Amino acid sequence: MISAGIDIGSRTIKLVVVKDGKIVHSTIRENSFQTLSVCQEMLNGISYDTIISTGYGRHLFESGYGGKTISEIKAFALGASAAIPSCRTILDIGGQDIKAVSLDEAGFVRKFEMNDKCSAGTGRFLEIMSLALGFELSDFGAMALKAERAEKINSMCTVFAESEVISLVSRGAKRDDVALGIHQSIVGRARSMLSRVQIDEDLVFVGGAALNPCIRKLMEDSLGIPVIVPSDPQIVGAYGCALFGTV
């Protein structure tokens, strides 16, 4: 059986195809105002027996392509448990939200917390702050790790934080130091969410922000435990969808 899973996020769309329990295809594309058109391009030439969707655009996808939908929490629980069988806690920092999920020993969701009301501390926040400092998003974490000291960022509101960052630089603060302060504020917000679920090892970090080495290091320093990042942390939700389709 060939099962496809598609995770339609606010920033990116992820597609995973599973055959006999193994990933045989995966791709990631930027989302746009033409979400269904992007999905169609991603699915061109892809054969599957069933398709499962999750993410912000799952109901839109269902209306256009059918198939079943599942919640992001369930998708990430399935995907993270399959990628890292020892997973007991999941941290997902996506484009527009943060999710903290606690799993029991069987991989079932025990408790979760989700922030989807504000972009503070999310991938979008990270993107806006990197632009404000003149860094490429892909280099942002590495530059923050070069800082000598962190410039504290007092506001987590994206609009106010951007103004604060610009003000700090104009007063002579080093960009690397400001970058580290931004990363510390993101980790502080994520750490607060994790504290509201039971934090057990192994902690698996997924989503686009998991590619940022500074967030991972600061999270490990804050929690005092290893933070595991799967080989492709962005496709974990889509992988979970594809696995759900094989049940």
Same domain, 54 and 135: no
Sheet of 68-69, strands arranged across: 22-30, 12-19, 2-8, 50-54, 68-69
pLDDT in the model for residue 247: 87
How many residues are recorded in the chain?
247
Residue 13 has pLDDT above 70, yes or no: yes
Same domain, 43 and 120: no
CB atoms closer than 10 angstroms to residue 68? 14
Q: Residue 178: enclosing H or E segment and its boundaries?
A: helix 175-194
Per-residue pLDDT tens over the stretch 80-120? 999 999 999 999 999 889 999 999 999 999 999 998 667 77
Q: What is the mean pLDDT of the chain?
A: 95
Q: What is the 3-class SS of 149-163, one letter each residue?
A: CCCCCCCCCHHHHHH
Same domain, 35 and 152: no
Q: Which CATH number do you get for residue 26?
A: 3.30.420.40
Per-residue pLDDT tens over the stretch 15-38? 999 999 899 999 999 999 899 999
pLDDT in the model for residue 95: 87
Same domain, 22 and 47: yes
Residue 78 has pLDDT above 70, yes or no: yes
Which residues span the domain enclosing 159?
A: 86-229
Same domain, 125 and 156: yes
Same domain, 52 and 98: no
pLDDT in the model for residue 181: 97
Same domain, 32 and 150: no
Distance of CA 85 to the CA centre of its chain: 19
pLDDT in the model for residue 158: 85
pLDDT in the model for residue 222: 96
Determine what percent of the chain is predicted with pLDDT higher than 90.
89
Residue 228 has pLDDT above 90, yes or no: yes
* Rounded Cα–Cα distance for residues 181 and 195 (Å): 21
* Rounded Cα–Cα distance for residues 19 and 162 (Å): 45
Both structure tokens of 18: 């599973």
User: Structurally, how many domains does the chain consist of?
Assistant: 2
Of 56, 55, 63, 58, the closest CA to residue 79 belongs to: 55
Per-residue pLDDT tens over the stretch 133-179? 999 999 999 999 999 999 999 888 888 999 999 999 999 999 999 99
Same domain, 49 and 165: no
Same domain, 64 and 137: no
CB atoms closer than 10 angstroms to residue 59? 12
Same domain, 188 and 216: yes
Same domain, 211 and 167: yes
Same domain, 128 and 187: yes
